[in-house]
Amino acid sequence: MSIRKRSVAEFFGTFWLVFGGCGAAVLAAAFPGLGIGFAGVALAFGLTVLTMAYAIGHISGCHLNPAVSVGLVVGRRFPASELLPYVIAQVLGGLAGAGVLYVIASGRDGFDVTAGFASNGYAAHSPGGYSLGACLVAEIVLTFFFLMIILGSTDKRAPQGFAPIAIGLGLTLIHLIGIPVTNLSVNPARSTGPAIFVGGWAIGQLWLFWVAPIVGAAAAGVVYNAVFSEYV
C-alpha cells in the first residue's frame, strides 16, 4: 500500500477519533438530564479507536496519534522514513475533526468555545485543578502504558485478531483515569485540533501535550524491546 493511501487512512482515522471523542465531550457529556459524563466520553474515545482499528488497521496500522507512531518507530515496528507523512496526516485529521465539531457545536445558542471545547490543560485549565507537574507525569505514564498495550497486543506472539479490542478498552481505561487530570490527551493530534479553535491558553499549554505523550511512547518502545523482545 502506498504511503499516500496509508496517510489518507490516518487522516480519516484521526478525524474520527477527534470528532467522535471530543464530540461526545462537547455535545453529549453535559446534556441536561441525559449527559453521558466522564464514563461516556471515555467509552467514546475507546470506540473510535476500536472501530477504526478494524476499518483501517489493515491499511495504515491505525496509529491515529503522532506519539503512537513515534513509539512504534522506537519499538522497531514502523520505519522512521514514514513518520513525518503519518504525523502530518494525523494532525490535519485532528484539525478537520475539530473543525466539523466546531461547526456543529456553534449552532447552539450560547455556545462558547473559550469554555474549553474539550481542550487539554493543566493547572487552572485542568478539570480537577491538577498542577503542571501532576499533569506531566499523568500524560507520560498513561501514554507509556497505552503504548505497552499496543506493542503487546500487536506482537506476533499475541492472539491474533483481538488487538483492536485490547487497544480500544485500554484507551477507555486511560480516559477514565486521566479526564479529571488533563481532559486526557496521550495524543498530540487530538490536543492540537481543539486547541487551535480555542486559542489563547490552549495554544500556550499545548507544548505539554506534545512533549509528554512522545516521551511516554518512546520510553515504552525502549522498554518493550529491552524486556519483552523474543530475542532478549
Q: Measured between alpha carbons, how far is residue 34 from residues 10, 28, 40, 46, 108 in Å?
A: 33, 8, 11, 20, 17
User: Domain range for residue 194?
Assistant: 3-228
pLDDT of residue 33: 73
Q: What CATH number is attached to the domain comprising 32?
A: 1.20.1080.10
pLDDT of residue 166: 97
Residue 94: phi and psi, rounded to 5, are: -65, -40
* CB neighbourhood size of 31 (10 A): 11
In this structure, are residues 186 and 150 in contact, taking their beta carbons and an 8 Å threshold? no
Crossing angle, helix 163-182 and helix 132-153, to 10 degrees? 180
pLDDT of residue 111: 87
Return the C-alpha cell found at 30.
453535559
The total number of structural domains that make up the chain: 1
Q: C-alpha 29: how far from its chain's center?
A: 18
Write down the pTM of the prediction: 0.94
Complete DSSP assignment for 176-192 = HHHHHHHS--S-HHHHH
Question: Tens-digit pLDDT profile for the chain (232 aa)?
Answer: 899 999 999 999 999 999 999 999 999 987 777 788 999 999 999 999 999 999 999 999 999 999 999 999 999 999 999 999 999 999 999 999 999 999 999 998 888 888 889 999 999 999 999 999 999 999 999 999 999 999 999 999 999 989 999 999 999 999 999 999 999 999 999 999 999 999 999 999 999 999 999 999 999 999 999 998 876 5
Give CA–CA dist 12/14, Å, rounded: 6
